Amino acid sequence: MDVINPATGERADTIEAHTESDVEAALERASAAFETWQDEPIRKREELLAAAGDVLRENKREYAETMTREMGKPISQAIAEVEKCAWVCDHYAEHGSAYLEADSHASPPGSDVKTVYDPLGPILAVMPWNFPFWQVFRFAAPHLTSGNVGLLKHASNVPGCAQAIEEVFRQAGYPDGVFQSLLIPSDLVDDIIEDERVKAATVTGSGPAGRAVASTAGDQLKKSVLELGGSDPFIILDDADIDDAAETGAWARNQNGGQSCIAGKRFLVHTDVYDEFLERFVDEIESLTVGDPTDEATDIGPQARADLMDDLHEQVEASVEAGADVLTGGEPMDRKGAYYPPTVLTDIPEGCPADSEETFGPVAAVYELDDEAAIVAKATDTEFGLGASIWTTDRERGRRLAREIDAGCVYVNQLVKSDPRVPFGGVKASGYGRELAREGMLEFVNRKTVWVE
């Protein structure tokens, strides 16, 4: 696997991929590890997870530099990502046993009925490049702690991250085989899911990847959880704090180079504040620093791969040809590397790529809408349903509208984010199932009823 630094376009490293025999050996190790790991006391598993958090903190600069080199994340954001991974380890180290506590049920006198939560076994996690540490740890922290073992098939452009994550668990003291990274092409995924030793699968990534995994898992009657794409509405109502909404909105669209499923993508603005918001929004976006991702002052680095930047630009060009206006950005930057500038489109025609597709990069589509009803209709007029953000000074109004938005999570006066303390996931083409909190931890367990008379 060649590692291409997207900031330079040059090869930074070559890492040897695993063979089919390597995969077979890994599956055998995972199966053997589960037999003993599932019987480890929960407190022991929590202690090891806390140790993993310590390893992350101790080596955060090294891990951040690996991310920056492989997929272009600005170094300050990469460090913050490693720190967030340590946080999710802390969270499940503290709360894992409580989340797995058996639930009691009403029962006849003299009987005791509970639901207990037993692990399933080896779980395959197919993970993306955009948050190459966080996406993995929000899977691994709860599910290793519940007694499962993990097999990671990471994106092919971040093999160094995959190796580093496996090393985190090794340094923390996890037994051999409890967490393994498989450096393999996507065409081996189906065979792994079909293997009887693998009990479930989870995917964070594109719609096609999710559908492929879900189809194979479904054919094998195996549990799956999908966190897929999004085209999140960022709603600015007529009573919003415009300065706050514009500042947060600019960051919600452009952090991580705009390469986020939960980034604010479609900005739906009430006509009464449209001009004011748009002016402030463009000012905020144009103030962001695009540059060398190893520089602490950089806000936006390169896109993760040159081909992804080309795809994004094709979406912009097609939208402009359909009638959209470019207020800022809109062309690849004239410099070495896969750099695309923060871009704002207005007067978005219905059905053009910026309107109907997920734009996975720093491109904001801004709409002017007449009233609350039109905003809600536009917010839900999408195949996606991952997140939404609503801006209003009337919190009760925000709560009411949140119930009308067809999405897995809605944030009022805050950007959409994943947090270890609350469930995260989507509906419609954005997937199914939940990650994080107790709900996420219970996705890959046998919810076993135990009736004792």
CATH assignment at residue 213: 3.40.605.10
> Rg of the chain's alpha carbons, rounded to an integer?
22
Are 190 and 81 in a shared domain?
yes
Are 302 and 178 in a shared domain?
no
What CATH number corresponds to the domain at position 318? 3.40.309.10
- Mean pLDDT of the 30-35 span: 98
* 239: nearest Cα among 385, 415, 401, 416: 401
Are 192 and 320 in a shared domain?
no
Contacts of 358 (CB under 8 A, 6+ apart): 229, 230, 231, 261, 265, 384
Phi and psi of 25, rounded to 5°? -65, -40
* 131 occurs within a structural domain: yes
Q: What's the pLDDT band for 16 if we cut at 50, 70, 90?
A: very high
Are 209 and 62 in a shared domain?
yes
**pLDDT of the residue at 203:** 98
DSSP secondary structure of 292-321: -TTSTT-SB---S-HHHHHHHHHHHHHHHH
Are 368 and 442 in a shared domain?
no
Q: Express each pLDDT in 145-178 by its tens digit.
A: 999 999 999 999 999 999 999 999 999 999 999 9
**pLDDT of the residue at 135:** 98
Give bridge partners of residue 384 from the DSSP assignment. 428
Residue 409 annotated to the active site: no
Are 289 and 386 in a shared domain?
yes
Q: What's the pLDDT band for 40 if we cut at 50, 70, 90?
A: very high
**pLDDT of the residue at 437:** 98
* 425 occurs within a structural domain: no
- Mean pLDDT of the 331-351 span: 98
**pLDDT of the residue at 444:** 98
- Mean pLDDT of the 320-329 span: 98
Contacts of 373 (CB under 8 A, 6+ apart): none
Strand, coil or helix: 328: strand
CB of 146 closer than 8 Å to CB of 178: no
Q: What's the pLDDT band for 36 if we cut at 50, 70, 90?
A: very high
Are 87 and 115 in a shared domain?
yes
* 126 occurs within a structural domain: yes
Torsion-angle region of residue 19: left (phi > 0), alpha (psi -120 to 50) or beta? Answer: beta
* 424 occurs within a structural domain: no
**pLDDT of the residue at 304:** 98
| Token pair of 47 as six digits | 């202690």
Cα separations in angstroms, 11 against 23, 71, 334? 26, 12, 20
Are 269 and 173 in a shared domain?
no
* 356 occurs within a structural domain: yes
- The H or E element containing residue 142 is helix 134-145
Give bridge partners of residue 20 from the DSSP assignment. none
Q: What's the pLDDT band for 9 if we cut at 50, 70, 90?
A: very high
| Catalytic, out of 89, 261, 352, 409 | 261
Domain assignment of residue 392, given as a range? 232-419
Residue 261 annotated to the active site: yes
**pLDDT of the residue at 4:** 96
408 alpha-carbon distance from chain centroid: 13
- Mean pLDDT of the 20-24 span: 97
**pLDDT of the residue at 176:** 98
**pLDDT of the residue at 155:** 97
Q: What is the mean pLDDT of the chain?
A: 98
Count of domains forming the chain? 2
Percent of the chain with pLDDT over 90: 100
* 39 occurs within a structural domain: yes
CB burial string 44-65: b at 16+ within 10 A, e below: ebbebbbbbbebbeebbeebbb
- Mean pLDDT of the 351-356 span: 98
CA dist 285 and 297 (Å) reads 15
Are 123 and 251 in a shared domain?
no
| Catalytic, out of 46, 81, 166, 227 | 227
**pLDDT of the residue at 100:** 98
Are 224 and 236 in a shared domain?
no
* 179 occurs within a structural domain: yes
**pLDDT of the residue at 332:** 98
- Write down the residue that tokens 């997140």 correspond to: 387
Are 198 and 294 in a shared domain?
no
| Token pair of 392 as six digits | 């209003």
Q: What's the pLDDT band for 68 if we cut at 50, 70, 90?
A: very high
Write down the pTM of the prediction: 0.97
Are 185 and 283 in a shared domain?
no
Contacts of 310 (CB under 8 A, 6+ apart): none
**pLDDT of the residue at 405:** 98
Strand, coil or helix: 109: coil
Neighbours of 217 (CB within 10 A): 23
